[in-house]
Amino acid sequence: PFNNPLSSFSYGMLGSRRSRSLVVVKAEAQSINPEIRKSEDKVVDSVVVTELAKPLTAYCRCWRSGTFPLCDGSHVKHNKASGDNVGPLLLKKQ
């Protein structure tokens, strides 16, 4: 049920017998990772920083990257679609 966004909402109707309806939509806690490694209880990644190849490497924090744990720029589309403001963690060798 947790993978279905609708399951996180409850709603009810009152007064429908009198042709009026009040719809109450109540938000509950939302998952932020829709797809990545859902078979794992907790998605944790490790970087041995001495092994970084490039001067700058971007790591994803939006859970939308096709190259997770690396950032592939998908945060831009996510931010536009949702109004969010998330971005990557940049690892710099110096």
Interface with ligand FES (CB under 6 A): 60-62, 64-65, 71-75, 87-88
66 interacts with, out of ligand FES, a copy of itself, none, CB within 5 to 8 A per kind:
none
Q: Does 70 bind a copy of itself (CB under 8 A)?
A: no
> How far, in Å, are 7, 18, 20, 57 from residue 71 at the CA level?
29, 53, 49, 8
38 as an active site residue: the answer is no
Q: Does 74 bind a copy of itself (CB under 8 A)?
A: no
Where b means 16+ CB within 10 Å and e means fewer, 37-62 reads eeeeeeeeeeeeeeeeeeeebbebeb
Amino acid found at 80: K
Other beta carbons within 10 Å of 79: 15
Residues marked as catalytic: 42
Binding region for a copy of itself (CB under 8 A): 1-3, 5-6, 8-9, 11, 13, 16-17, 19-21, 23, 25, 27-33, 37-38, 40-50, 52, 59-63, 69, 75, 78-79, 81-94
